[in-house]
Amino acid sequence: MNICILGAGAIGGYLAAKLSLAGSDVSLIARGEQLKAIREDGLTLIENGNTNTTFPTAYSNALEAGEQDYLIITLKAHSVIEIVADINPLLSRKTHVIWCVNGLPWWYFYKCPGKFENTRINTIDPDNRQWEKITPERIIGCVVYPAVEVEAPGKIRHIEGNKFSLGELDGSKTERVTKLAKEFTNAGLRAPIRSKIRDELWVKLWGNLSFNPISALTGATLAEMCSDSDCYNLIFKMMSEAQEVGEKIGVNFPIDIKKRIEGGKSVGDHKTSMLQDLERGRRMELDALVGGIIDLAKITEVPVPNIEAVYELTKLKAKINKCY
């Protein structure tokens, strides 16, 4: 089977390197200096004290790559919206799409039991562009855990974690997700197949919707935020509001809020992705990580005053810094 990774940043580069080193038929779509470096010198992975270079095929656009069996999307949510009209050459009738994108996904309510089934979320999918162009039946959900970074063009440094939880949106264990999990496992990755991928997604969303915007506002690391009593209380309130929203749409949270905050604290003096984006003048994932949750709060009629306040303050900061 052939696999194409759309987005050659940290996670995309890490996946491409691991799969290529294991002998998978994998390519990636990149741009700029990253594309130039991979084509000329290969893709280098630094992991566990070892340095390995591999040479996956690197394309500059979807038309070059052509139709794929599996398409793994590792872009930021707003970037997918911007290029969704251009990915059609990658998609055949049988192409499966693995969604490795941070934040609340546009496909969330597809095959989601209950009264909200097939509800669309406008903040993260304006005009239903992704729903109609990618189509939700292609999607395999994925919760991404590794911490990695692009050290230089063509060079990926792995920091910690190697788990990519996978799941069909209806909870079934299909041939397509089983084959993908096997491919990931053969590459040295952990790829558990989950029957309730949305529940696991919410544990990550908890951190995204609170740690990320607060860090952007304060400049604090995870350890600093979780160690400050006032900040801890705000995080707790935001997570409590989000939990009420999640439970209204059928989510079963596998851990409690205190344990989730402790998990963030244990990461140490790590800057969140949103703070890093702010510092580097890049567009922040504010709507996917926070705005979408506010949309769900409106749909479920759950008041979320703390989430809304932090969202509006962070949005203003992002606008002032031209990161929105």
Domain residue extents for the chain: 2-194, 198-320
Predicted local distance difference test score (pLDDT) of residue 110: 97
Residue 182's H or E segment, with its range, is helix 175-186
Predicted local distance difference test score (pLDDT) of residue 268: 85
Q: What is the pLDDT of residues 128-157, one digit of tens each?
A: 999 999 999 999 999 999 989 999 999 999
204 counts as catalytic: yes
What is the distance between the alpha carbons of residues 40 and 33, in angstroms, rounded to a whole number? 10
Q: What is the pLDDT of residues 36-86, one digit of tens each?
A: 999 999 999 999 999 999 999 999 999 999 999 999 999 999 999 999 989
Mean pLDDT, rounded, of the chain: 96
Q: What is the pLDDT of residues 259-309, one digit of tens each?
A: 999 999 998 888 899 999 999 999 999 999 999 999 999 999 999 999 999
Find the catalytic residue in 133, 179, 196, 204.
204
Predicted local distance difference test score (pLDDT) of residue 317: 97
Query: From residue 79, how far is each of 6, 83, 283, 309 by CA, in Å?
Result: 11, 6, 9, 25
What is the distance between the alpha carbons of residues 291 and 209, in angstroms, rounded to a whole number? 9
> Which pTM does this prediction carry?
0.94
What is the distance between the alpha carbons of residues 225 and 66, in angstroms, rounded to a whole number? 45
What is the distance between the alpha carbons of residues 147 and 15, in angstroms, rounded to a whole number? 12
* Helical axes 292-300 vs 229-248, angle rounded to 10°: 50
CATH class of 2-194: alpha beta
Q: Are 96 and 176 in contact (CB under 8 A)?
A: yes
Amino acid (1-letter code) at residue 127: D
Q: What is the pLDDT of residues 220-244, one digit of tens each?
A: 999 999 999 999 999 999 999 999 9
Predicted local distance difference test score (pLDDT) of residue 295: 95
Predicted local distance difference test score (pLDDT) of residue 267: 84
- 203: Cα separation from own chain's centroid: 13
At 189, phi and psi to the nearest 5? Answer: -105, 155
- Residue 184: pLDDT above 90? yes
Q: What is the pLDDT of residues 16-28, one digit of tens each?
A: 999 999 999 999 9
What the block records as the tokens of 308 is: 């809304």
What is the rounded average pLDDT of the residues 113-119? 92
- Residue 113: pLDDT above 90? no
Predicted local distance difference test score (pLDDT) of residue 80: 95
Q: Are 57 and 31 in contact (CB under 8 A)?
A: no
Predicted local distance difference test score (pLDDT) of residue 147: 87
Q: Are strands 50-54 and 43-47 parallel, antiparallel or unpaired?
A: antiparallel
Report the CATH superfamily, name and number, of domain 198-320: N-(1-d-carboxylethyl)-l-norvaline Dehydrogenase; domain 2 (1.10.1040.10)
What is the rounded average pLDDT of the residues 121-134? 94
Predicted local distance difference test score (pLDDT) of residue 304: 98
Beta partners for 46? Answer: 51, 157
CA angle 278, 146, 194 (to 5 degrees): 120
Q: What is the pLDDT of residues 92-105, one digit of tens each?
A: 999 999 999 999 99
